[in-house]
Amino acid sequence: MRLDHTDQQLINHFQRHLPVCERPYLEMSRQLGISEQEVIERLQSLQSRDVVGRVGSVFEHSQAGASLLAAVAAPEEQMDLVAARINRAPGVNHNYAREHTYNLWFVITAPDHELLEEHLDELERELKLSMLRLPMVEGYHIDLGFDIDWEALS
Amino acid sequence: MSLPFSANYLAPDSADSSSSEVSAWGLLRLRQQLEQGLPLAPRPYLALAERTGLSEQEVMNAITQWQSDGLIKRFGLVVKHRTLGYTANAMVVWDIADEQVQALGKAMAAVPFITLCYQRPRRLPDWPYNLFCMIHGTNRERVLAQLDSLITEHSLQQVQHSVLFSNKAYRQRGGRYVSHD
């Protein structure tokens, strides 16, 4: 999707450090040289076009609760079905098909480890597929947002 | 009724008398609200205050505090790269000797085109890999070229690895720890 220069600037500047003050969108608008109302409208538009998922916070997994990366090897012809079932489990927030014997990869979160394991046990029983459970041991670089290469996209 | 997670996430600064007066339930509700996203209204923190029973100032203080504590690691626009055209997303996994994994993880994290990098346990015999890195690119060839340069740069020619391109996203959204689906 092609974005205009102002949308690009909005993304370039505010993937992190959103202002925390009474009128944050006004503060952002001053940096971009547009009106507060336009910032709000552009954010709404970016969300409706599914370019921006949300304006908000990314919590640190290890502090925010329990989370892990899991994978199953689903029969090729049942992938959509298995993926849909995984999405119905509580706390699944990423779920991707990947090119590998383990072809469905998902991130699942819960308030604590016990609940997380319970949810996975239930899912494993229901799917009748063995599951890789891969908790994070150490993060070296975790979702800080990254600079978009607009040229490569154009 | 007890809180669903340790209270120090809610009031990390509880030794300080001013913050210990802030309602723990209000802070929990604030976290639930923040997982859904910031309201797109001129005074979003006031809107959050009205939804949580906190004051606008308490909302702003909590967000600032959580950022400095590291509970919130990033506060801003969460971009959906796939929509923008970053359609080639590869998870590259490596089997690195335990004594080298930390140093290599840190080195990889500094590479500009690597967007995530973490260590996870092996699950033998099915899964021998313990270091994961993510490369987001605009096309497959470009990602593979970046991977080649990474292998050369860090002398990883002899290291067993696997490249898992993703070909479909069934779900992509922020983690929700305390709010409901």
Residue B1 pLDDT > 70 = no
The ipTM estimated for the assembled molecules is 0.76
**What is the dotted CATH code of the domain comprising A61-134?**
3.30.70.3460
Q: Are the C-beta atoms of residues A105 and B164 closer than 8 Å to each other?
A: yes
- What's the whole-model pTM score? 0.73
Pick the residue from chain B with its C-alpha nearest to A154.
Answer: B85
Residue with tokens 């993880």: B105
Determine which of A44, A57, A95 to mutate to test the interface with B (most B C-beta atoms within 10 Å).
A57
Average confidence (pLDDT) per 10 residues, chain A, 154 residues:
92 93 98 97 96 87 80 96 96 93 94 94 95 91 70 70
How high does pLDDT run on average in chain A? 91
pLDDT computed for residue A6 by the predictor: 96
pLDDT at B177 over 80: no
B133 neighbors B108 (Cβ within 8 angstroms): yes
Cα first-last separation, chain A: 9
Q: Provide, as residue numbers in chain B, all residues whose Cβ is less than 8 Å from the Cβ of A141.
A: 108-110, 114-118
> Where in chain A are the domains?
5-48, 61-134
A77: left (phi over 0), alpha (psi -120 to 50) or beta: alpha
**Cα–Cα dist A132/A74, whole Å:** 12
According to the model, what pLDDT value does residue B107 have? 93
Residue of B nearest to A12 (CA): B77
Of the candidates A13, A44, A7, A79, the one whose C-alpha atom is nearest the C-alpha of residue B44 is A44
* Residues B79-130 pLDDT 10s: 888 888 888 889 999 999 999 999 999 999 888 888 889 999 999 999 999 9
